[in-house]
Chain A
Amino acid sequence: MRLGYIVPIAVFIVFAIALGIGLTLNPRDIPSALIGKSIPAFDLPAVPPRSLGLATDDLKKGDVVLINVFASWCVACRVEHPLLMELARSGVVQVYGLAYKDAPENSDRWLGQFGDPYTRTGVDRDGRVGIDWGIYGVPETFIVSGDGRIIDKHIGPISPADLQNKILPLIAQARAQ
């Protein structure tokens, strides 16, 4: 008889906890299908007047790089931008920029205004290379190993905590291998 009361309450509590955890998850954090895979084949021109473009071979130079997907129309990109500037200045890792669905002159003006942390840039005017990379929101940041494998993808602006706790350890780990 006791069990008849306990079971429904136990089931309710389990459901409440499961749904409560569900509420704390970010529905926009969809894990990339490309993690562990090789980067897609692509070749993009640089944001003029820069000359170093972005292509598959540039990401297989032996060292870990970050690919930051940005656009001048992306508000959240401004949030993480100072952090990327700092990262580029520190020289810890090379940051390459993929200008996603943005007019090159707007990308250039934006980089002029907020600073240019990118060693290389690629203009993905129509977003087709972005589709090959599985991009669905900007900003996104890929960590790519020295032999051109996608180690991880960070979705949304990078916070200082993301950098310290996730991105930098992953870079160190990839270099150790």
Chain B
Amino acid sequence: MMGPLRGALLGTVILALLLVPNLGLALGIDPPLADPKLEARSMELHKQLRCLVCQNQSIHDSNAGLARDLREVVRERVVAGDSDQDVIDYVVDRYGDWVLLNPPFNLSTAALWGAPFALILVGGLSVALFLRRTSRRTVTAATPLTDAERARLDRVLESDG
């Protein structure tokens, strides 16, 4: 006789075993390098390179065929003894600065890098100007009520009660 607890436990174990290989497939894991140090370096490089097919993913995240090919290229370069910069240059030579998720500052990316600072500057200046203008505005003293106004106000208050 199998108790309900043991049945649940067995079910969980079977489910876990079923899910583990599927998880690997879902992530599109390709065979890692034997040397964990080189694999870690490759993975860091993968994260810096943009997938050209699914544009806002890195090749580390992407399942696209080209992303898989580029991951393979990066691993090969790393195994061949390239430095991180060599590998990046290798890919940039073929696909341009566009593949870098952290693009370098140059003429074509000046607007991209400069825009946040320009916006902060313009916003800050606007706020500063606004504050200076409101603080300088002189508050005119209230003129006291005339006798006629006071009498009218009294009437209004009385009729209200």
A126 at the interface (CB under 8 A from B): yes
B18-26, B35-43, B87-95, B153-161: which lies at the A interface? B87-95
- What residues of chain B lie closer than 8 Å to A28, measured between beta carbons? 55
Q: Which of B65-79 contact A (CB under 8 A)?
A: 65-66, 69-70, 73
Contact check, B96 vs A136: say whether CB atoms are below 8 A apart. no
B105 at the interface (CB under 8 A from A): no
Q: Which of B52, B69, B70, B73 contacts A137 (CB 8 A)?
A: B52
A127 at the interface (CB under 8 A from B): yes
Contact check, B55 vs A27: say whether CB atoms are below 8 A apart. yes
B98 at the interface (CB under 8 A from A): yes
Report which A residues bind B (CB closer than 8 A): 11, 27-28, 30-34, 101, 126-128, 131-134, 136-137
| Chain A interface SS verdict (over half) | loop
Give chain A nearest CB distance to B32 CB in angstroms.
19
Q: Evaluate whether A131 and B73 lie within 8 angstroms (CB atoms) in the complex, with A136-B53, A137-B53 already known.
A: yes
Contact check, A132 vs B52: say whether CB atoms are below 8 A apart. no
Contact check, A33 vs B65: say whether CB atoms are below 8 A apart. no
Q: Total contacts A to B, CB within 8 angstroms?
A: 41
Complex-state Cα separation, A101 to B66, whole angstroms: 10
Complex-state Cα separation, A68 to B66, whole angstroms: 18
- What residues of chain A lie closer than 8 Å to B53, measured between beta carbons? 136-137
Q: Evaluate whether A132 and B69 lie within 8 angstroms (CB atoms) in the complex, with A137-B52, A137-B53 already known.
A: no
Complex-state Cα separation, A134 to B69, whole angstroms: 12
Complex-state Cα separation, A126 to B73, whole angstroms: 12
Max chain A CB contacts within 10 Å: which of B69, B70, B94, B122? B94
Write the chain B residue with the least CB distance to A101. Answer: B65
Contact check, B52 vs A30: say whether CB atoms are below 8 A apart. yes
Write the chain A residue with the least CB distance to B51. Answer: A136
